[in-house]
Structure 1
């Protein structure tokens, strides 16, 4: 079996060896086990379902959280020569969707959002075609988004509640024990095998720096972008600020574009492609950007705020240094940023008053869509309340929402404490996920001591060496294939 897998690895992907954890995950899948796999960003999670797809006889269904991520994965497979791949999403017209549904079984890799999976026609079609593997990509979203943002993640178990279903693979870069439990529960996994690699990325160096004002924060960000090499991602909290930062940095000569959920999908994909193709060096984004983006040479990730959780912070900084070269993750904050982060995290979250408005509207005969169009509640409010009130009483729903709101606030306190106290940032993040580190790298974090100049030089040197190694591997693989 191992020899065959290595042959597929070389012939389909051009690699002569597996990265840590990949082979064990693939063997578990081929043994028809349900698998929860935690691999750090850049360690080749996609290969863990793509390679089995070429060994297994039928389709692989991948549940993916973002349209941009789906498109990126589809493009990656097409570049490898795979034509039997499709993203079934809202980009398609009604006619295109119907045509694809009719021939869905002819595709090897089928990408769907959880919302698309839960549509009745799609569910019926999926139940009628042979499927060899179901994949939940970025599976932490089940726990982090399902309860309060995209409840269709929690409904996936309804579709997967079948004794004859194929194995399930849940992939993510970060997961606490609670998140792993949520993944197993909401995907109806049966005694899943856990494959967990170390979360620590020694080549990422952490810095958390307090500034006195928002204007000083921008000036420090602009200075860092100028002084330290890119490409990079600048994360901010609002669409308005993303656009404002981008315009101000463009005026300083930075090749940058903004990216956020207020943009049209086609515009967002265009910005992503510009970034991947090196037509711009920076993206200023809300947290909508970066998940699954295959750009190996991101040298820095900058935050201008406290992220909504330790898990989100780990996911976002993990987009740096996928090539193994030294990279820098910097967060600038003011004393007021904690309150702003709490406001952003809870602003569009329903409370007791929203529950009562929703309940009264439904009792009066309004459809959930009408509640939105009449501006009684936001689309997010309606999506969340439609789920919870279908499962629980009004009183139980109010209690659940209060608990979830408090959890959001506590998660911000957790990341704030990690970044502001005197302890090593790296050590605290790794321990948060129940792991330990045996040693810390030189230039570990701003608490342990950080020499930016050394990181710049090391980053340039490593990037050059990695490019040479990549060409050597390509040539070696080519010669092996010719032989």
Structure 2
């Protein structure tokens, strides 16, 4: 007799019911359909492929863009005893990679970065074992319209044709209708592919705009926010800003605080993540390097000290708040000076056609390119795409980023419901938002003091773990590389 899906969910995972979209996608996969799921951050996308493990004979291959994200998901699978799991990443030695590939038939889950998956010997090893499910996590990275476009994701359609998996599942939290179409097209998914697109509306997130007119305004408005004492994430634009703001706040608050950015070592970033997840750190000041795959259920406050570049980044970053379904506050400081600085940073990162062509013709001649530009070109070089195609993509992307930035600035300077505008931008069929006091506000409509007095943020804060923090270096290393 077949066990109902909800009963299986309760028995295997301990959840009483599915979140919206989960049951529909699982049912489609069980029926042999490929699927694309666009589900909000924190809505349980990883459960979709984890649930399938006992129902499929063979390997579940998960493509993921970040080492930290792969390591976190692998650790969760091990802790839940869902099956043997391995991670292939750039931090492994060739010998360690070969050992995993020789034993591939023993694993149920394999996590791999898209760049690693391009390597022919990796694909050959996967072909030698039964492949049950091909999962593309953070699938919006496949689209140049998305904020996290990764050139290596463009080649996943070719990889899929090579591996010929019986089932494919694409997952993302961020996809406009155009990005959604890119995912289906680039992965060459059939017309019969099952779709589920949840609304981006999360009613437990309060959206707040704080208009800044003087440089000192930001720090002045941080004080009452940080005085709430709730788990807090502050996003800034640069690594230098993350460090200097942290130093300033350490003088202003006794709460434990740390900064996080891509310049820290992998071990240090993982340690900070764990301290924050275990409520040993109350505040993190971070660049947009922090967040993907960080599942902290009781994050109550997300502050954008500096402007995000577009709607997509904004949605991803505020989506890390209130994952437990309780009230959370998101605040963005709106400053014209920041908008101008952001434009200059974007201009500095842009590449001309001549610079692109010179790089591919003379890769050892670094010209006067900065690290960001060199990183972008190196990523494209790995794909071995024709130079003309790389140039077309980068020039188109530059134009799109400018359009996205301008659209987001218009949002920040609007007077209508913020939640409605967010839904209108992302949702294929946006809901009609019933604007009320629990929805959104701007600083010229209601003071921050009044807002904080009426929002029960402190009451909504719940400790979310009884496990000890992973502060010991050996423990952290074991969790990362076992």
TM class, shorter-length = 0.7 to 0.9
How well do the aligned residues superpose, as a CA RMSD in angstroms?
A: 2.6
What residue in structure 1 maps to residue 477 of structure 2? none
The alpha carbon displacement at 1:52 in A equals 0.8
Secondary structure at 2:320's aligned position in 1? Answer: coil
| Equivalent residue runs for 1:128-207 within 5 Å | 128-144=128-144, 150-162=150-162, 164-191=164-191, 192-207=193-208
- Cα distance in 2 for partners of 1:264, 1:48 equals 31
After TM superposition, the structure 1 stretch with the greater mean CA deviation from structure 2, 400-409 or 441-450, is 441-450
Out of 398, 409, 415, which is 1:405 matched to?
Answer: 398
Give the TM-score, by structure 2 length: 0.87
- Cα distance in 2 for partners of 1:123, 1:147 equals 28
What residue in structure 2 maps to residue 335 of structure 1? 336
The alpha carbon displacement at 1:150 in A equals 2.6
Give the TM-score, by structure 1 length: 0.87
- What 5-or-longer segments of structure 1 have no aligned partner? 362-367, 468-483
The alpha carbon displacement at 1:375 in A equals 7.1
The alpha carbon displacement at 1:197 in A equals 1.7
Is this contact kept in 1: 2:38–2:173, CA < 8 A? yes
Is this contact kept in 2: 1:348–1:381, CA < 8 A? no
- Cα distance in 2 for partners of 1:391, 1:115 equals 17
What residue in structure 2 maps to residue 440 of structure 1? 435
Deviation by residue 1:246-287 (Cα, 9 ceiling, x = unmatched): 121122223111111111111111111111111101211111
What residue in structure 2 maps to residue 15 of structure 1? 15
- Cα distance in 1 for partners of 2:295, 2:89 equals 20
Is this contact kept in 2: 1:174–1:311, CA < 8 A? yes
What residue in structure 1 maps to residue 346 of structure 2? 345
Is this contact kept in 1: 2:230–2:458, CA < 8 A? no
Secondary structure at 1:251's aligned position in 2? Answer: helix
The alpha carbon displacement at 1:7 in A equals 3.6
The alpha carbon displacement at 1:138 in A equals 1.7
Is this contact kept in 2: 1:149–1:384, CA < 8 A? no
The alpha carbon displacement at 1:398 in A equals 4.1
The alpha carbon displacement at 1:355 in A equals 1.9
The alpha carbon displacement at 1:152 in A equals 0.5
Secondary structure at 1:279's aligned position in 2? Answer: coil
What residue in structure 1 maps to residue 423 of structure 2? 430
Change (3 A) 1:390 1:80: closer
| Equivalent residue runs for 1:79-94 within 5 Å | 79-82=79-82, 84-94=84-94
The alpha carbon displacement at 1:162 in A equals 4.6
Out of 390, 396, 411, which is 2:385 matched to?
Answer: 390
Change (3 A) 1:359 1:449: same
